[in-house]
Structure 1
Amino acid sequence: MSPLAEFPPESRSTGFAMLAEPFQRRAVLAAAIGFGLALLIRPDALVPCLVGFCAAVLVLLLPLRAGGERAASGRGSTREVPGARPGGQLRAAVDALREPAFLIDRAMILRHNNPASLVAFGNVAINEPVSLRFRSPDFLATVEAALRQDEAAEAAFEERRPFDRIWQAEITPIRVEGTGAGGPAFFLLLFRDRTVERRLERMRSDFVANASHELRTPLASLIGFIETLQGPARGDEAARERFLGIMREQARRMSRLIDDLLSLSRIEMKRHVAPSARIDLRDVFEDVRGEMELMAEENGLEIRFERPEEPFIVLGEEDELIQVFNNLVENACKYAGGGGRIDLELSAVTEGGRRFVDAGVRDHGAGIAPEHVPRLTERFYRVDVASSRSKRGTGLGLSIVRNLLLHHRARLIITSELGRGSVFRARFPIADTADEVKSSQQ
């Protein structure tokens, strides 16, 4: 086995340089022994033996000499040894950046990353290609082009899991003294979080689109009644009182719609930031029952909640959780119809080896047809448009619930059966599991 086999391919050039002198000595010694033996066997063949000796020396020494020259000049190496590790000052400067930052070489191998990058992207292995972590073809193509041209560039990078994040990456060449004129030794990848900015843009566009659609009907009613009061009904006292009452209700509907749109936009804007307070869902249900009891009585319903002895702790924001279950109980009061009661239920479940808390609102009314259930959380989706508007619904209640639950890393599970009622169940990771999930995301 050749001694060169002990060296990996990328370091064999350096190995040639180290092994050249020992191989030269061994080669000359072997050739000399062969020359002596040939003379002993054939004393009369001095000239052929001498020629064979010289040829053997040349054949053995030329490859080693070529390998040594390649090692000395650096040509033929698959790695740029001077750029293998950034200096201490450069690493300290990158560590001081508040945004996630990576130092990569020309082969897109990660050489250093700062603490902020661990929080944003988790642990990324040093000396591994960054393409193993950032699996976006467009993003990687932009980075490769910047490295190839030795120029600064910008690239967008979006993540969908564990939640939506939008990043703007700046690629900047870093030239280090002593690396020669072969181009930058390193490139800095600096990531800036643009999630909030993009969501603000989306919020504005969605608000304009939704408001223009949903506000058109009440605005048309107001304009029509105003024109009627200014014209044919100018002196009609009875018509004026009736029209003013309708106009007041339409104005209130517009106010509720705008409040819900603004609330939904605020929730979506901060949805990517997980809450950290420990909340007992038993206390949340007690508050919800107290706040919604009067509305339930007006609709001939009773809210029942049997408080469990053991706590049900989740990570959340108390006001938002109360808003979630207030909305669900309000919907049950408005649309469930009959059944006599609304049940608030807490239970522990296991799914996929992880523990969760199910917090449900169960009604015993008419139920919902199966074809409507998958679309209930869409904005402005209504099972019965006329019924929803007559009961002052905006069509945004369940969309708000869904987004609040996403903020809490929870999900909404809806089951319904015609004639037997519906259950709207929020499934939360319990506090210990939520802590584990949150730490793994960081």
Structure 2
Amino acid sequence: MTLPLVTALLDALEEPALLVEGERTEAANDAARALLGPRLVGQNIRFAIRQPQALDAILSGRTGQFEVLGIGGVERSFEVSINRLSPTLLLVRLVDRSARRAAERAQVDFVANASHELRTPLAAVLGFSETLAEEGALPESIRRRFGEQIHTQAQRMMVIIRDLMSLSRIEADRFSQPSGRVMLADVLREAIQAAAPLAAEKNCQIMLEADQSLGTVQGDLPQLRQLVDNLVGNALRYGCSAGGKAVEVRLERAGEWQRLCVRDHGEGVSPEHLPRLTERFYRVDDARSRDSGGTGLGLAIVAHIVERHRGLLEIRSRPGEGTEVEVRLPAR
């Protein structure tokens, strides 16, 4: 097979691919040039690949497959495949495994975090129940207080389990676009009515401004209810901690989108936290979140619902200025 023909075949591959003879890069496809630099061909392979394990295998002519970190980025994971085309010519292919590794890490982190979140209330339940089960009379006030703590911690575990199951169901459906028709304005009114007790507890007013001329969006009604409930609930819990403030909820048309904005005037969030707010169990302040009844899953659920509905999510916040969450859903 001639070198021009092999080069043409390289260009047909989606993954980065190189032809290496000795220490010289003889050919590279577009994906390889995008990953490793535009001036690969004719250069020493050391200028393209500096990852020690991969470079050693290529220079020694060792064929096979192995996975390495550090090609094209410190955290990127690639499967390196080396095949011999002639006594001196090697075909080197680089298959990006970063997404798979990230998913595996996320799964491990998810199990670890879920176990940690459940361990704390479970330990409290076990401790109080063991005390109640011991022989000997306890004062009625202590017995009642222990019973209330067991009930509170059991409820907390139920909320965590409920949110975990909800997140699992949403993730399972993320590739199937919803087929129902939903009036977002009606969902907002129902959510605000349901949040009235929490608003009263926080001494916080909810201001609703909704364009009554808006039609429906294509969506899953229970999931959109959950999305709005989570956004309004978060704004009340964390944006009205001082009391006497307002949460503003707006629904309007923005071109081909229906735009929902929920804004509070609370403490706000520092910029370094914003990219991680939709991660499972991520909390800006652990103690404050638990005291408010949060599980650390609310915005993760919101993000997955928005993704399933082919929408857009943006969170804007500054310390001392409050937080605004914007969700855009296709109008048609």
Give TM-score, length-normalised by structure 1: 0.49
**DSSP 3-state at the match of 1:361:** strand
**DSSP 3-state at the match of 1:395:** coil
Q: Counterpart of 1:253 in structure 2: which amino acid? A: R
- Equivalent residue number for residue 37 of structure 1: none
- Equivalent residue number for residue 278 of structure 2: 377
2:320 and 2:108 map into 1 onto residues whose CA distance is 40
Q: 1:253 aligns with which of 147, 156, 162?
A: 156
- Equivalent residue number for residue 401 of structure 1: 302
- Equivalent residue number for residue 238 of structure 2: 335
The root-mean-square deviation of aligned C-alpha atoms, in Å, is: 2.9
User: Identity percentage over the alignment?
Assistant: 44
- Equivalent residue number for residue 345 of structure 1: 250
Residues 1:217 and 2:96 aligned together: no
Counterpart contact for 2:264–2:324, Cα < 8 Å: yes
2:136 and 2:312 map into 1 onto residues whose CA distance is 52
Structure with higher Rg: it is 1
Distance change >3 Å, CA 234–CA 371, structure 1 → 2: farther
Counterpart contact for 1:203–1:265, Cα < 8 Å: no
Q: Counterpart of 1:211 in structure 2: which amino acid? A: A
Counterpart contact for 1:367–1:421, Cα < 8 Å: yes
Q: 2:311 aligns with which of 389, 394, 410?
A: 410
- Equivalent residue number for residue 291 of structure 1: 194
Distance change >3 Å, CA 252–CA 361, structure 1 → 2: same
**DSSP 3-state at the match of 1:371:** helix
1:275 and 1:324 map into 2 onto residues whose CA distance is 14
Counterpart contact for 1:279–1:316, Cα < 8 Å: yes
Distance change >3 Å, CA 327–CA 417, structure 1 → 2: same
- Equivalent residue number for residue 71 of structure 2: none
Shift of 1:418: 2.1
Counterpart contact for 2:210–2:252, Cα < 8 Å: no
Give TM-score, length-normalised by structure 2: 0.64
Shift of 1:399: 0.7
Partner deviation per Cα, 1:86-128 (whole Å, 9 max, x = no partner):
xxxxxxxxxxxxxxxxxxxxxxxxxxxxxxxxxxxxxxxxxxx
Residues 1:135 and 2:14 aligned together: yes
1:233 and 1:335 map into 2 onto residues whose CA distance is 43
- Equivalent residue number for residue 314 of structure 1: 217
1:293 and 1:274 map into 2 onto residues whose CA distance is 32
- Equivalent residue number for residue 238 of structure 1: 141
2:270 and 2:136 map into 1 onto residues whose CA distance is 44
**DSSP 3-state at the match of 1:386:** helix
2:206 and 2:305 map into 1 onto residues whose CA distance is 23
Shift of 1:346: 1.8
Q: Quick one: higher RCO (CA 8 Å, sep 6+), 1 or 2?
A: 2
- Equivalent residue number for residue 203 of structure 2: 300
- Equivalent residue number for residue 41 of structure 2: none
Distance change >3 Å, CA 227–CA 234, structure 1 → 2: farther
Q: Counterpart of 1:283 in structure 2: which amino acid? A: D
**Structure 2 matches for 1:150-169, cutoff 5 A?**
none
Shift of 1:419: 2.1
**Structure 2 matches for 1:162-201, cutoff 5 A?**
none
Counterpart contact for 2:204–2:246, Cα < 8 Å: yes
Counterpart contact for 2:214–2:252, Cα < 8 Å: no
**DSSP 3-state at the match of 1:263:** helix
Shift of 1:404: 0.9
Counterpart contact for 1:302–1:341, Cα < 8 Å: yes
Q: When you count helix as a share of all residues, which structure comes out higher?
A: 1
Unmatched 5+ stretches in structure 1: 1-128, 139-198, 432-442
Partner deviation per Cα, 1:307-330 (whole Å, 9 max, x = no partner):
324215322112211110111101
Q: Counterpart of 2:162 in structure 1: which amino acid? A: D
Q: 1:388 aligns with which of 289, 295, 306?
A: 289
Shift of 1:397: 0.9
- Equivalent residue number for residue 269 of structure 2: 368
Distance change >3 Å, CA 224–CA 349, structure 1 → 2: same
Q: 2:327 aligns with which of 409, 426, 435?
A: 426
Shift of 1:379: 0.8
Counterpart contact for 1:228–1:234, Cα < 8 Å: no
Shift of 1:385: 1.0
Shift of 1:366: 2.1
**DSSP 3-state at the match of 2:175:** coil
Q: Counterpart of 1:425 in structure 2: which amino acid? A: E
